[in-house]
Amino acid sequence: MKILGICGSPREESNTRFYLRQTLSEFETQGAQTEIILLRDLNIRGCKGCYGCVKAKKCVIEDDFGIVFEKMMEADGILFGSPVYHSSITSELKAVLDRAGFSGRWYSNEMKGKEDSYEWKGTVFSGKVVAPVTVARRAGQNFAFAQILLWATCNDCIVAGSTYWNVGVAGKGGTVNADEDEEGIGIMKHLASNMTHIIRCLKRETEV
Residues 135 to 154 in contact with ligand FMN, rule: CB under 6 A: 135-140
Pairing between β-strand 129-136 and β-strand 77-83 as defined by DSSP bridges? parallel
Cβ distance to ligand FMN smaller for residue 17 or 105:
17
Q: Is 105 exposed, middle or buried (0-12, 13-18, 19+ CB in 10 A)?
A: buried
Q: According to the binding rule CB under 6 A, does residue 37 interact with ligand FMN?
A: no
Q: 5 and 23 in contact (C-beta within 8 Å)? A: yes
Considering only 3, 4, 6, 16, the residue that binds ligand FMN (CB under 6 A) is 16
Q: Is 170 in the site for ligand FMN (CB under 6 A)?
A: yes
Give the one residue of 6, 59, 79, 84 binding ligand FMN; rule: CB under 6 A.
84
Q: To the nearest whole angstrom, how small is the minimum distance from the Cβ of residue 169 to ligand FMN?
A: 8
Torsional sign, CA 150, 155, 156, 159: negative
Instruction: State the nearest-atom distance from the C-beta of 73 to ligand FMN, in Å.
Output: 25
- Under the binding rule (CB under 6 A), the answer on residue 58 touching ligand FMN is no
CB 9 within 8 A of CB 168: no
